[in-house]
Structure 1
Amino acid sequence: MTDILTAPAPSSGAPTPNPAAAPAARTRRKARREARAAWGLLTPALIVIGVMTVYPAVLMVIQSFTDYTVKNKVQGTWPSFVGFQNYIDLFAQSDFPAVLARSLGIMIVLTILNMTLGMLVAILMVRLSRAWRILVSVGLLVAWAMPPLTATVVWGWIFDTEYGVVNAMLNALTGTSNWTNHSWLLNPWSFFFVLTIIVVWQSVPFVAFTTYAALGQVPDEVLEAASLDGANGFSRFRLIVFPYLRSVLTVVLVLQIIWNLRIFTQVYALQSRGGLASETNVLGTYLFRQGVGEFGATAAIGVVMVILLLALSWGYVRTTLKEEEL
């Protein structure tokens, strides 16, 4: 009788509920709801990006392998597939290689000047008094806020052949009239000298403000400790300040490379004031002037530019992905 009373009840075959399973299931359902909500919020932005960026990019790649011209567009006919012929002609039967080398050269010069001068201005702003810092900030903002076309017109008048201030000042300094009617835009070297002044004048404020904001994140205690240990200014900047600025400067450097490689407005405006387009074209103006209605050939130029920009910025993208994995 005792064995009967103490014997375990027979199993009914139903699974025994796990107390930890219910919270885990609720967590999974919550994660799925949050994922659906996130995708719902992202969908409008993804649609806009797809329409404004992905579709034109795919269409450009497809057209680069055809002989699509304005004739096909007017007549509504399909272009012929030409394979890599547009790319072969681009590098073998045009002056595109010279334009590409010129664009890379001016990009390197502009990037070095923008980064160097911008960092120096930022360090100077840290050491200035409040009044002088505000004055310098206002001057930088004025240069930064001016539209590129307006800035080019203003600097074009400064270097004007007949009425330019620069020619008048050089005549006054040399005591001669050798600089009268001197054209700064006719010679390609002086053309790019003027272009460099305009672009650097407008690009340095961005680098300066960004670097100045990043300098505010460097702990003063660390700098004071390094100073007490006998580290000079260059050592403190190289060993302490620069590691704090590295991520910010990397982003700024990539942006400067991209912006300086795709400059258009300043070059085109200076060419309109007397520069020789054939000797001063960069990638942007070359693409604009090359083959009106030759959509296949110009699409090939656009694809090469995109590949070049992606290659130049790939280092930053790879570094960013590695930092996110850590």
Structure 2
Amino acid sequence: MTLSRRGLLAAGLALPAVAHAQGTAQGGWAPDRPVSLIVPFAAGGPTDVIARLVAEGMGRDLGQAVVVENVTGAGGTIAAARVAQAKPDGTTLLFHHIGHASAATLYRKLPYDVLGSFAPLGLASDAAMTVVARPDFPAKDLAEVLAAMKRDGDRLTLAHSGLGAANHLCGMLLQHAAGTALTTVVFRGSAPAITELMAGRIDLFCDQATNTAPFLREGRIKGYAVTLRRRVAGLDLPTTEEAGAPTIEMSTWHGMYAPKATPPEARSRLSAALRSALTEERLTARLAELVTDPATPERATEAFHTRFLAEEVARWRPIIQAAGQYAD
């Protein structure tokens, strides 16, 4: 997608002051037109917010505008297919979360290969998941939550917002740890699920701290654990490992991808721009508000991201297969 200077300004996108020359000076390759950053989810959600912060910083570093485009549907696979099939010239990129890895198993037929059709450029962020419940759920800790799940099974309800959503995957881990299946209730996003949880019409939920933290702090829902190996600042919750359930560990991570055949010099330059964006104070401050961490410089590299994606695909395959939950 090529936009004129007038079109970019009309869209409210700031043009980098030094334009094409800065990117060329810093790394040899530079995009010769605005870069499209394809986001698989709607505007305003956590993925979109993080992508726009990253795009702004990358644009300054590259000397070329990075324009976010929301392409929704089918758990992110429509957006991923578009990028997989795009011209591999470094100007069409994908910004996706953990659902990119789980799609390799969740979807029986994909128009792309999760591991073979993309060049991972680096991870961008990590957010803890939280195990939460309706305000009057009787369990006093995570061990009692798991015991109640084993005892009551499908008499308990578990919310999620669609196949492949991070809360769907976390719910799978929770059920796997308890060795049972609950009655799942699907919502169009986290917000309505939390509303029903607060009202006591849903029993359990496992969602991003980004979404649950305000309600946990206000005492409007009940929290049991965070799913990282460390505690999360501002939330008085143990880790799942501290609570005796180390298998319930995951984060909602985001990463950036180019089409597989993108030249190495373009991939390297884009990856460097990503790392530069992740150090900007505006981004780190906003991520802190979202209870999300920027990826470390090591994790925001092509090599780490490539290994990590393969590990995540392998990790989720047996869990999804055991649950028997597939998308058409």
Give TM-score scaled by structure 1 length. 0.24
More helix by share: 1
Bigger Rg, structure 1 or 2? 1
Which structure has the highest strand share of the two?
2
